[in-house]
């Protein structure tokens, strides 16, 4: 691996002694929800793209540079997902180092992935559930945390929950069935159950296609990567029985107020009539309030007359006429 000039300068003074160096890594996702990996030329392991900051360089800028230099892919940084101090390593030339690593979630925006310098022997896109053998364990952990990103970076601290173990409940709803129901952030493996609920009515069955989950999984990765969006499920003893998506929208109107958009409220057929839909929506209203929103809005198809009555009972007012324009896509 090339040694940055300023590290070479430091080594001329301290030799192989331990250096603490700033580094960056990137969990880069494409529109299909696949992650960009490269096979390192120094040890043969598959890993997230990473690198060392140059003097005066901002971490996000350094990552954009490293990804393009190594893979020819242009990226947009979404957010900081984890902060690490790595274990000490000894490089093949005897240099000892330890890295303060900042891992960022990124979207691919341009370029075709390829080997672009001598730091890699191969470059490719991989589904998160089908990663290559021989992948570095540290990259696996960073990727898990990036895919679970909820707008707050993970860091090691006493008493801080390990988010890589899976989403913790945001709240537990009592009195909506024979057992408590947890509202938690949706995971990738929840997508089939969510899509099944979206398709489980006269309107949904004509526009949803549960037999091909690839576009839904790609959409999930985009939703999950954006801290403005929160896709949740209602979990009853491990079974997904409800869902909704909450999106915080900034705007200049109403004095620059934040508003919350609620979409795709669904309850599994087995749980209907027990108050779960009401409890789930009221939770969303309180979550919007906690996020600083001054208005909660939603749309519902004119054919869903039962849904209209349901929302009105909860205080929603049909104050506006909603219009939609369907666009043809290539």
Domain containing residue 63: CATH number = 3.90.79.10
Interatomic CA distance for residues 59 and 65, integer angstroms: 10
Same domain, 11 and 160: yes
Whether residue 43 is contained in a domain is answered as yes
In angstroms, the Cα distances linking 69 to 4, 35, 38, 205 are 14, 17, 12, 46
Same domain, 50 and 89: yes
Domain that holds residue 71: 5-164
Q: Which of 139, 164, 189 is the last residue of a domain?
A: 164
Same domain, 20 and 97: yes
| 228: its two tokens | 């403005």
| 166: its two tokens | 């899976």
Report H helices in 127-265: 137-147, 191-198, 204-207, 214-225, 253-256
Q: Are 48 and 26 in contact (CB under 8 A)?
A: yes
> Per-residue confidence of the chain (330 residues) as pLDDT tens digits?
567 888 889 989 999 899 999 999 999 999 888 999 999 988 889 999 999 998 999 999 999 999 999 999 999 999 999 998 888 878 778 888 899 999 999 999 999 999 999 889 999 999 988 899 888 888 988 998 888 887 888 887 644 444 444 455 678 887 787 778 899 999 888 999 999 999 998 888 889 999 999 899 989 988 887 888 999 999 988 899 999 999 999 999 999 999 999 999 999 988 888 899 999 999 999 999 988 999 999 999 999 898 999 999 999 999 998 888 988 876
| CA dihedral over 228, 104, 68, 22, signed as positive or negative | positive
Question: pLDDT tens digit string along 4-13?
Answer: 888 889 989 9
User: E strands along the chain, which residues?
Assistant: 19-29, 35-40, 46-47, 49-52, 74-85, 89-90, 96-110, 120-126, 154-155, 169-173, 181-185, 229-236, 239-249, 258-267, 293-298
What is the model's pTM?
Answer: 0.54
Q: What are phi and psi of 234, to 5 degrees?
A: -95, 125
* Percent helix / strand / coil, the chain, rounded to 5: 30, 30, 40
Same domain, 135 and 32: yes
Same domain, 157 and 12: yes
Interatomic CA distance for residues 52 and 76, integer angstroms: 19
Same domain, 53 and 131: yes
| 200: its two tokens | 């489980």
Whether residue 268 is contained in a domain is answered as yes
Q: What is the DSSP letter of 178?
A: S
């Amino acid at each position: 691996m090339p040694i940055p000039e300023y590290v070479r300068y430091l080594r001329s003074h301290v030799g192989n002694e331990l250096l603490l160096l700033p580094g960056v890594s990137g969990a880069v996702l494409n529109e299909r929800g696949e992650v960009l990996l490269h096979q390192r030329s120094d040890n043969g392991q598959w890993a997230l793209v990473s690198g060392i900051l140059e003097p005066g360089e901002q971490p996000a800028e350094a990552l954009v540079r490293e990804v393009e230099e190594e893979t020819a892919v242009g990226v947009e940084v979404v957010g900081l997902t984890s902060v690490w101090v790595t274990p000490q390593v000894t490089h093949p030339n005897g240099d000892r180092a330890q890295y303060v690593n900042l891992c960022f979630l990124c979207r691919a925006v341009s370029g075709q992935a390829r080997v672009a310098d001598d730091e890699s022997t191969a470059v490719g896109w991989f589904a998160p559930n089908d990663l290559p053998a021989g992948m570095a364990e540290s990259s696996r952990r960073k990727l898990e945390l990036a895919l679970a990103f909820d707008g707050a970076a993970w860091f090691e601290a006493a008493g801080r929950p390990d988010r890589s173990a899976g989403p913790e409940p945001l709240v537990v709803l009592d009195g909506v069935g024979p057992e408590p129901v947890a509202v938690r952030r949706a995971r990738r493996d929840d997508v089939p159950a969510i899509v099944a609920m979206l398709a489980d009515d006269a309107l949904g069955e004509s526009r949803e296609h549960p037999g091909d989950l690839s576009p839904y999984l790609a959409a999930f990765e985009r939703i999950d990567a954006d801290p403005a969006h929160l896709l949740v499920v209602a979990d009853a003893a491990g079974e997904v029985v409800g869902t909704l998506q909450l999106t915080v929208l900034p705007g200049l109107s109403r004095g620059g107020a934040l508003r919350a958009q609620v979409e795709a409220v669904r309850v599994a057929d087995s749980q209907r009539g027990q108050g779960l839909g009401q409890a789930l929506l009221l939770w969303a209203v309180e979550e919007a309030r906690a996020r600083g929103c001054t208005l909660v809005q939603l749309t519902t198809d004119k054919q869903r007359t039962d849904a209209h009555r349901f929302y009105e009972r909860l205080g929603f007012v049909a104050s506006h006429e909603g219009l939609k324009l369907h666009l043809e896509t290539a």
